[in-house]
Amino acid sequence: MGPLAFLLALPVRAYRLVLSPWVGMHCRFHPTCSAYALEALARHGAFRGAWLAARRIARCHPWGGSGIDEVPR
């Protein structure tokens, strides 16, 4: 993971540490959005990883899909 991707991953890690226990495990997708974001940043770098994570979060709404959604290769 590059330095910019590492910096973008810090808020995701903070969310997982602080807010995720309060929100609970109600994610529609597997892996969860935060795990998806960390994997996308690690695999694709800061720009493409952030784009993939934002797209995934945008799909997480009541009328969106659900199921297994892996990070593309």
Give the separation between CA 29 and CA 48, rounded to whole angstroms.
20
Using alpha carbons, select from 12, 31, 26 the residue that is nearest to residue 69: 31
Beta bridge partners of 29: 67
Query: Does 8 fall in a domain?
Result: yes
Query: Does 55 fall in a domain?
Result: yes
Query: Does 24 fall in a domain?
Result: yes
What is residue 13's predicted lDDT score, i.e. its pLDDT? 97
Query: Does 27 fall in a domain?
Result: yes
Q: What is the domain count for the chain?
A: 1
What is residue 45's predicted lDDT score, i.e. its pLDDT? 96
pTM for the complete prediction?
0.90
Boundaries of domain holding 47: 3-68
Query: Does 73 fall in a domain?
Result: no
- Note down pLDDT in tens along the chain; length 73 residues: 899 999 999 999 999 999 988 887 778 889 999 999 999 999 999 999 999 999 999 988 888 888 898 999 9
Query: Does 56 fall in a domain?
Result: yes
